[in-house]
Chain A
Amino acid sequence: GAGVSQSPSNKVTEKGKDVELRCDPISGHTALYWYRQRLGQGLEFLIYFQGNSAPDKSGLPSDRFSAERTGESVSTLTIQRTQQEDSAVYLCASSLVPSLNTEAFFGQGTRLTVV
């Protein structure tokens, strides 16, 4: 596609429910990143994919968070048993390869509100 697409753009969920956030990277981009942006804070790295493997998942805050990627395409970030502190904007980015020499392009994010 023309850019990184994330869905839904907004999600309100009840505490304790599971949510799935979707990211469609730019076609041909092998690297995909997930970040979290809490209100008034910078972006926190969560996980990145090279193809469908995740070499670095060090930023996932707890075992309630998981992510998967199908080939070099769509990625899904799943949060189980959501808590109020999970409320944030979840941003996805993709780049041609997982290298600092290639620019990462960001989606507009999914705003998650846990009530």
Chain B
Amino acid sequence: AQSVTQPDIHITVSEGASLELRCNYSYGATPYLFWYVQSPGQGLQLLLKYFSGDTLVQGIKGFEAEFKRSQSSFNLRKPSVHWSDAAEYFCAVAPLNQGGKLIFGQGTELSVKP
């Protein structure tokens, strides 16, 4: 069965520091992978997605993610974190031919220190 694991429940980084949020997936075929962000009082917003091709994908708000098939990973990165990046981040995998439904990880809560 497909699954997504986000090993870090909570991460704290200093403003201006780099960030990497981990995501590992379990899926038999080439996965469709997504990162969403959920800010307090806001709905989920799509940051970026990977379908095929270049394994380094760029997203909104300066985020990028790298697909590594050998490690079954799709880690999210940002070179310099801003205080407004404090939020909960969800990695998701989408099974093929299942109408676009998503299977989410448990989320990583990001706190940013001044």
Contact = CB atoms under 8 A, between A and B. Distances in A.
A59 B57 CA distance: 30
Contact of A43 (B94, B96, B104): B104
B101 interface: yes
Given A106-B44, A108-B43, A109-B43, A56 B98 contact: yes
Contacts, number: 68
A101 B46 CA distance: 13
A107 interface: yes
A103 B43 contact: no
Interface stretch (A11-19, A63-71, A76-84, A91-99): A91-99
Secondary structure type dominating chain B contacts: loop
Contact of A100 (B32, B42, B107): B32
Interface in B41-74: 41-46, 51
Contacts of B36: 106
B28 to A, nearest CB: 16
Interface of B: 4, 6, 9, 32, 36, 41-46, 51, 90, 92, 94, 96, 98-107
27 contacts: A4-B43, A33-B100, A33-B101, A33-B102, A35-B102, A40-B9, A42-B4, A42-B106, A43-B104, A44-B104, A45-B101, A45-B102, A45-B103, A48-B99, A48-B100, A48-B101, A50-B99, A56-B101, A59-B101, A91-B44, A93-B44, A98-B100, A99-B100, A104-B46, A104-B102, A106-B45, A108-B42
Interface of A: 3-4, 31, 33, 35, 40-45, 48, 50, 55-56, 59, 91, 93, 95, 97-109
